[in-house]
Amino acid sequence: MKRRAPAAAAVLSVMSLVILQGASPAGAETPTVQPRTVVPGAAAGCARLVGLHIGASKMELPTRGAEVVSATLTKADPQTGRPEFCLVRGKVNSFDTAAPGINFQLNLPTSWNRKAIQFGGGGFNGTVVTGLDPLPGYSNDLTISGEPPIDRGYATFGSDGGVAVGNNPPGSFALNKEALANYSGESVKRTHDAALGVLRHYYGSPPREQYYAGGSKGGHEALVAAQRYGDDYDGIIAFYPASQNQAMVLSWYHMWQQAYSRPGGYLDPAHQKLVTDAVYATCDSLDGVKDGVISDVRGCDRAFSVASLRCPDGAQGDGCLSQQQIDTLETAATPYRFAFPLANGVTEIGPYPVLRGADFLNTLLDSTGNGENTAYYLFTDPVIRYFIEQDPTGSSQDFDYRRYESRVRELSREYDATDPDIDRFRQHGGKLIIVQGTTDMLVPEGATDAYYQSLTRRYGASTAGFVRYYVQPGYNHGVGSFDLSWDSLTALENWTDRGTPPADPVATDANPTTLGRTLPLCAYPKWPSYNGTGDVDQAKNYACVSHRGK
């Protein structure tokens, strides 16, 4: 991490200790031994933070400085394992007085492991991320995952992304240039600089290591951290990163139109189940075992044809699909090509996994045929009206992005995290872990595959020295038929502290009905194939193999 001199504010005296982290969960790598800094007189020191001002000169992007609004010492909770910490709430004052400020929370353990982790946001942001929760890919059952970082002695922090606009409609913040820039990634830096200013004042020194972790929008922000602010971070974890705002939104809108803007394009829940049941009947056993997880997704592409479900006359019927319904599914299962390239040469996105075992209820389709209750509509309508059209009275009905080429290109350049140039992060010694699921209907695997491929084109064989990318079959957007739980934080610690990269990681299923079954977490482009003998619920009986053909 880039080191800066401590702030000129009074420096607290500290005592250094060495404390072993809590025991690792079953199957996890051994945690590192963390040196600890213990703050004497923490209650008084915490209270003195109230009113602390971090000057604008201490922050690299334009602001009017940051303030600590409140600071409260929170006592340890022996039942949960939560340690004593100073809970700090603060605000970064926007440079444009018409823009919302960035509200943040910073948690400062009295016994600090001398590391910090910044949490990413989600959706349209707007809610302060507390930094007290587990990372993405963690289960509530701590026997199969790790503790939240605060419980391990990390200083943790997060923010609302600088887009909290009260009762105004979601996405309407995009009408303000600074708020949109914050949402597009600048809040990552502004939050980091403000939080680190408070942290240095409290402990008297910067963290020995600074991490970033997030999923979805937070995964986008994690890639922003690597691409734009790489020398601020020693390690980054990005789960299902929503790295392509314009590509995703345009493809979601295209699929949504096929389902709802054409007569007969919608599939009700019975027809949705018909499709997924047929896919699993054909593809579940391609990996050597029938277990409710389709691991060989490329093999499934070859083995299953949705045309096999077509009604004899192409009209809608029970137990079969109309041609219009098949068109909806094939639209989603086919990469969507854009009329012009987006930032960093992105020309397409997809396929979406409607024919790979995904549950597409509440994303592409709803249960009633309304359409406006789907995640696709709830995201695309605000982005079209506020981001692209920049008109609060506008409409997404009959929207044609080709009429807004210059604006779409501009937004893609400002927002999208598809730049393969992470030289600063690499030269700084940073390590990046990316995790993606095969059944994600919001962030399709192909989009994350494409970004990783762009990294390998740039860095060649050296990519594995600082980037690891894992794909989990059956994992959706934080849930799925295989609900992945993996202690990615310990894996990252061992990589940054010991120089030991993740070796043969194991993913544990956190679903209640299959709790505890395991699969190898395979590095892209490999997938877990059953060896043919032994317990099918144990990762040791699987091998990571390559897809055949395309």
User: Residue 140's pLDDT is what?
Assistant: 67
At 77, phi and psi to the nearest 5? -120, 100
User: Is the peptide bond prior to 525 cis by the omega test (within 30 degrees of 0)?
Assistant: yes
- Rg of the chain's alpha carbons, rounded to an integer? 24
Across 252-276, b (16+ Cβ under 10 Å) vs e yields: bbbbbbbbbeeeebbbeeebbebbb
User: Residue 9's pLDDT is what?
Assistant: 31
User: Residue 256's pLDDT is what?
Assistant: 98
User: Residue 187's pLDDT is what?
Assistant: 98
User: Residue 29's pLDDT is what?
Assistant: 62
The SS3 of residue 434 is strand
When pLDDT is cut at 50, 70 and 90, the band that residue 22 belongs to is very low
Res. 100: pLDDT tops 80: yes
pLDDT in tens, 265-292: 999 999 999 999 999 999 999 999 999 9
| Structural contact between residues 32 and 493, judged by C-beta atoms closer than 8 angstroms | yes
User: Residue 21's pLDDT is what?
Assistant: 36
Element (H, E) at 36: strand 33-38
Measured CA to CA, the distance from residue 322 to residue 93 in angstroms comes to: 55
pLDDT in tens, 126-173: 999 999 999 999 876 656 667 899 999 999 999 999 998 788 899 999
When pLDDT is cut at 50, 70 and 90, the band that residue 334 belongs to is very high
Measured CA to CA, the distance from residue 481 to residue 279 in angstroms comes to: 14
Res. 35: pLDDT tops 90: no
| Structural contact between residues 119 and 198, judged by C-beta atoms closer than 8 angstroms | no
pLDDT in tens, 436-468: 999 999 999 999 999 999 999 999 999 999 999
9-15 mean pLDDT: 31
Q: Beta strands 85-92 and 115-119: pairing type?
A: unpaired
pLDDT in tens, 170-196: 999 999 999 999 999 999 999 999 999
pLDDT in tens, 209-241: 999 999 999 999 999 999 999 999 999 999 999
User: Residue 314's pLDDT is what?
Assistant: 80
Res. 391: pLDDT tops 50: yes
Whole-model pTM?
0.93
Domains contained in the chain, CATH given: 15-243+417-546 (3.40.50.1820), 247-415 (no CATH)
pLDDT in tens, 353-363: 999 999 999 99
